[in-house]
Amino acid sequence: MDAGRVTIREVAARAGVSIATVSNVFSGNKPVNADLRERVLKAAEELAYQVDRAASQLRSGQARVVGVLVPDLDDVFFTSLVSQLEVLAQKDGYDILVASSRDDLGLEQSRLRTLLAWRPSGLIAVPCSDAVPEALRNEMGRLPIVFADRVPPEGSLVDTVAIDNREAGEIAARHLLAKGHRHILVAASSLAISPIRERIRGACELIRSMLDLEPTVIELGSNADRGAATFLHWLERHPQPSAVIALTNVTTLSTLSALARMRIDIPDPVSVVGFDDYPWMSARKTGLTAIRQPIAAIAEAAWTRLRARMAGDAAPPTHSVLQASLQARDSVRDLAVMAEHASSHDPHPDLDMPTASAKAVH
């Protein structure tokens, strides 16, 4: 065999099948017998055959490529989402092209133009703001598009998949309130993003209704190191909270880093509820209580809608809302039990606890 590129003809000869069979295996245009498919894949592996996607697209007139746009590939949530989508796309015979906007509107426009230049069959996008990206406005109705995670608050002309963010914030606050916490700090990434505002709304409305107190909200941004510095600066200038709700996995890291630099232990004196649930959260000495987003379900719902649109589904847009859940571990101190224990030993317990919080920082 020469040193040039292996051709589909060579794979067909090696597998003892027709060129059309090899083409169908890699394109997914027609079903192929399992035995023949296995022979083709084995021959392709032995020959180190690489599918020429550009040539295939020119011949078929149909791209087997889907674009995926996320705000930040340094964020584990988005890399996990991309990984899940990649698996689902591969099962259906598609490749994915991934781009990151780095949470920058100008870069988002550039990345979208690059993705669209490939003439993908569809696009799954997590916009970096509440607005529909300008580069996509003219594509709606022509290109199958699904928005995931960050959904425009005014509604969308395309399919959307997100969690119930207000409920997610409420779940975190309810857990802390049930444990007797009153001085609760909410650590957000950016108030400019509607899912974050909804998580804040869910947490703060419940705290207000239960305690008649105004919770403290601080913005830490989407960079863990800068967020830790911001939180450290806040901690040095304000009364210490009894608990922190971190509304993203990045703000969770920022919170933990700032507390560690101040040598503040978890859960005593400060309890923490994080967001998203990854193996490192349970591998810590003190396992982290966290709000768990159903990443696999989000990816599957987004891919299912996009796949249907690419197959010609012209029904009105659907808006899937999934539920988050609480993974309780040891990072939340039970003040209610402590107060009950103290009152059983002291007929006049000192119930004086912080009843006010610092003014919200925006």
- The model's pLDDT over 208-236, given as tens digits with 9 standing for 90+, comes to 999 999 899 999 999 999 999 999 999 99
Instruction: Tell me the pLDDT band of 137, cut-offs 50, 70 and 90.
Output: confident
Rounded to whole angstroms, the Cα distance separating 132 from 127 reads 7
Q: Per mean pLDDT, which range of 33-47, 168-182, 315-329 is the poorest?
A: 33-47
Give the Cα separation of 61 and 5 in Å (integer). Answer: 23
Average pLDDT, the chain: 89
pLDDT at 190: 94
Q: Which helix (H) or strand (E) holds 100?
A: strand 95-100
Query: 13-22, 162-171, 175-184, 220-229: which has the minimum mean pLDDT?
Result: 13-22
- pLDDT at position 63: 64
**DSSP state, 64?**
-
CATH 3.40.50.2300 fits 165-293+325-345, yes or no: yes
DSSP alpha helix (H) spans, the chain: 8-15, 19-27, 34-47, 53-60, 76-91, 105-117, 134-137, 165-178, 194-211, 224-235, 249-261, 279-283, 295-310, 335-345
Q: How confident is the model at residue 151 (pLDDT cuts 50, 70, 90)?
A: confident
Among the residue ranges 25-34, 36-45, 125-134, 339-348, the one predicted with the least confidence is: 339-348
Check pLDDT > 60 for residue 280.
yes
DSSP 263-327: T--TTTT-EEEEES--HHHHHSSSPPEEEEP-HHHHHHHHHHHHHHHHTT--SPP-EEEEPPEEE
Q: Which fold has domain 65-162+295-322?
A: Rossmann fold (3.40.50)
152 falls in which pLDDT band (50, 70, 90)?
confident
Q: Looking at the predicted structure, is the pLDDT value of residue 61 above 60?
A: no
If residue 262 lies in a helix (H) or strand (E), which one and from where to where?
A: none
Q: Kindly tell me if the per-residue pLDDT of 2 is higher than 50.
A: no
This model's pTM is above 0.85: no
Residues recorded for the chain: 362
Instruction: Say whether pLDDT at 358 is over 60.
Output: no
Residue 134 pLDDT greater than 80, yes or no? yes
> Is pLDDT of 354 > 50?
no
At 361, the pLDDT band (50, 70, 90 cuts) reads: very low
Mean pLDDT over 87-101 rounds to: 95
Check pLDDT > 70 for residue 172. yes
The predicted structure's pLDDT at residue 351? 40
Q: Same CATH topology for 65-162+295-322 and 165-293+325-345?
A: yes
CATH code of the domain occupying 8-60: 1.10.260.40
Phi and psi at 128, nearest 5°, equal: -90, 0
Domain boundaries, the chain: 8-60, 65-162+295-322, 165-293+325-345
